Amino acid sequence: MKAMRVVMVGMLICWSLWAPVLAADPQDGEAPEGQEAAAPVVETPEILFRGLEAKRIALEARAEAIRLEEKKLKELKAELDATRETLETLRRQIETSLSRLEAKEKAVNEAQRLEEEKKIKQLVKLYSSMKPKQAAAIVDSMDIVIAERLFMNLKGDVAGKILAYVAKDKAARISERLAETLADLPEVK
């Protein structure tokens, strides 16, 4: 605010000093129509000094305004740098947390897969020791996904004997799923 007042005072002083000079329109020494030619303006050292002083004040005010702006810009830059560093730290923390979470999820999934494999192996062992008709009765009420996994792990002759006693529509669905799963497996040469 103080800098603005200084600038305004400087501008007023400049204007009052230079207005008479600017008002005179010397064009080839001729005066405009209907007016007498103005006497040439002779600047005294005092007028020159006041004009220079007004310019100095205006320049000082402008320099102060520039210094204030530079100070604000430096403060804003420092604040921006601090914010950027904070965000970078947060990004690294998030990446670390995500990596840990993915590793835990992978471990849990692997543990679940191993547990399911263990259960399927137990079922395979159990169903292999059962009579085909008894096993088929249980398979009829079994979830299709579990039945598919069971038949994938049974030996071919045991699976065939049990499947012969499974209800026709269920046996057809199990066979279709087995065919799709086997088609998706890579060929062994």
Q: pLDDT value at position 122?
A: 92
Q: Which of 175, 189, 136, 179 is nearest to 158 (CA)?
A: 136
Q: How far apart are CA 124 and CA 127, in angstroms?
A: 5
Burial class of residue 178 in the structure, from the number of CB atoms within 10 Å of its CB (0-12 exposed, 13-18 middle, 19+ buried): middle
The pLDDT of 161-173, averaged and rounded, is: 91
The pLDDT of 143-150, averaged and rounded, is: 90
Q: How far apart are CA 135 and CA 147, in angstroms?
A: 11
Q: Could you read off the pLDDT of 49-105 as tens digits, one per residue?
A: 888 999 999 999 999 999 999 999 999 999 999 999 999 999 999 999 999 999 999
What does residue 128 show for φ and ψ, rounded to 5 degrees? Answer: -70, -30
- How far apart, in Å, do the first and last CA atoms of the chain sit? 87
User: Mean pLDDT in the chain?
Assistant: 84
What is the pTM (predicted TM-score) of this model? 0.45
Q: Could you read off the pLDDT of 95-121 as tens digits, one per residue?
A: 999 999 999 999 999 999 999 899 989
